[in-house]
Amino acid sequence: MTDIKPWLKAVEPLRSVGPANGTELVAVLSEVAALAGRWSDVLDGLREATHRFGGAAASASYDVACRRAEQAFLELEIAVRDARGAVRGA
């Protein structure tokens, strides 16, 4: 199994981030979107094993989780784009 401690180390500081302005918000959202993209890739990498070893119910639930992770990544990318536009327009 992969060690998830580096992952948790990267995510933990984001819990207490309070951007002071729009530029900082764009930077934080960009980092969160990048992490969400990596998380989506991690989940996708386990999909085959889940289908092979987890049974039908686990596979179905896992597929939903993978879709939601991908959707979260895409929505965060949209949020970054929109926030960046708001900062430029301000």
- Identify whether 6 is part of a domain: no
Structural domain of 33: 22-89
- Identify whether 34 is part of a domain: yes
- Identify whether 67 is part of a domain: yes
Residue 87 · residue 23 · CB < 8 Å: yes
Q: Which of 63, 17, 20 is nearest to 40 (CA)?
A: 63
Cα–Cα distance measured from residue 55 to residue 61, given in angstroms and rounded to the nearest whole number:
10
> The pTM is what?
0.83
Cα–Cα distance measured from residue 28 to residue 70, given in angstroms and rounded to the nearest whole number:
19
- Identify whether 78 is part of a domain: yes
- Identify whether 12 is part of a domain: no
pLDDT tens track, the chain, 90 positions: 567 777 777 778 877 778 999 999 999 999 999 999 999 998 999 999 999 999 999 999 999 999 999 999 999 999 999 999 999 997
- Identify whether 47 is part of a domain: yes
Domain count, the chain: 1
Cα–Cα distance measured from residue 64 to residue 47, given in angstroms and rounded to the nearest whole number:
11
